[in-house]
Structure 1
């Protein structure tokens, strides 16, 4: 399913607005949830299963130019990696699975902006998406840094509210811009 640029900008804006707004309105709950997330076994299992299903769907739909002739082998390989991650990479599994899911989500967002050079406002969508890609690759490599980041972010309520307020404002801007394309 391919998203339009308007829909992907609106969707990403709503997600940023919801994320930033939830921290602003429910600071104590968001703080507790964020601090427990990196090592949450339940979140790790659920997110990894979703990531495995999304990976299987992407691999199953590979074309012949994308090694689609070998998709059965690729499916077995990724399935084996996914199952083994529950045992051998269980620590911070939720962070790693979130990184996988964000990369798939970013792919869908960037695909909607592909070759749309006539619309310069697309840069407001793709810039934070590329920043998120860099962060998700870094956090997949060093997932304990998410714990460190949340410790730093929620050490002072004003710090967390300023960052989440900025995220919410940017999400609102994206929502408003989505209707100008």
Structure 2
């Protein structure tokens, strides 16, 4: 566990590889949505209530939280480390069993909050101002994640709005692809 924690947080991921991975992921996923909207639409529509995605994503996110809690310096809270580890495992099981409604949305929100820290660490105190593209993406994801955990129906409504007209999906996919391309160019040239 310590190796995973050290890889993500201590000293943190380098900016260039993070920018390349995030840029490539944004570019590839949004270009696919732009080129094959008929493939993406049913998956987007079914995502909010998809337990086949939600349960593994919840387990992954709670495992990530478990790693963070187990490996970080707890200071005076070290005495309750084991208790909180048991609570994390218990809450994970409780969420899977009791919070079935929009589980995938809540898990995605949890994931976006967790992934923000390594992204922000990668861009922390780095020289080129273009790094703020990654920072803005991380904060936007964390903010959306908080709303999706508390009000998961928002993602369902956002997906329905996006899929209502083909032009909206095309514009959204194009915007995501352009943002990914800009991140990729910045990572290759400036970071």
Q: Deviations over 1:76-104 (max 9, x none)?
A: 11111111011221111111111111111
Deviation, 1:19, is 2.1
Aligned to 1:54: 64
Deviation, 1:174, is 0.3
Aligned to 2:88: 78
Deviation, 1:65, is 3.0
Change (3 A) 1:147 1:64: closer
Aligned to 2:134: 125
| 8 A contact 1:62–1:71 mirrored in 2 | no
Aligned to 1:140: 149
Deviation, 1:138, is 0.7
| 8 A contact 1:38–1:147 mirrored in 2 | yes
| 8 A contact 2:111–2:145 mirrored in 1 | no
Give the TM-score of the pair, scaled to structure 1: 0.94
Deviation, 1:68, is 4.0
Structure number with higher helix proportion: 2
CA separation in 2, counterparts of 1:51 and 1:78?
A: 11
Give the TM-score of the pair, scaled to structure 2: 0.89
Q: Which shows bigger deviation, 151-160 or 7-16?
A: 7-16
CA separation in 1, counterparts of 2:182 and 2:167?
A: 22
**Structure 2 stretches lacking a partner, 5+ long:** 1-6
RMSD of aligned Cα (Å): 1.4
Alignment of 1:20-59 (within 5 A): 20-59=30-69
Aligned pair partner of 1:92 in 90, 99, 102: 102
Secondary structure of 1:178's partner?
Answer: helix
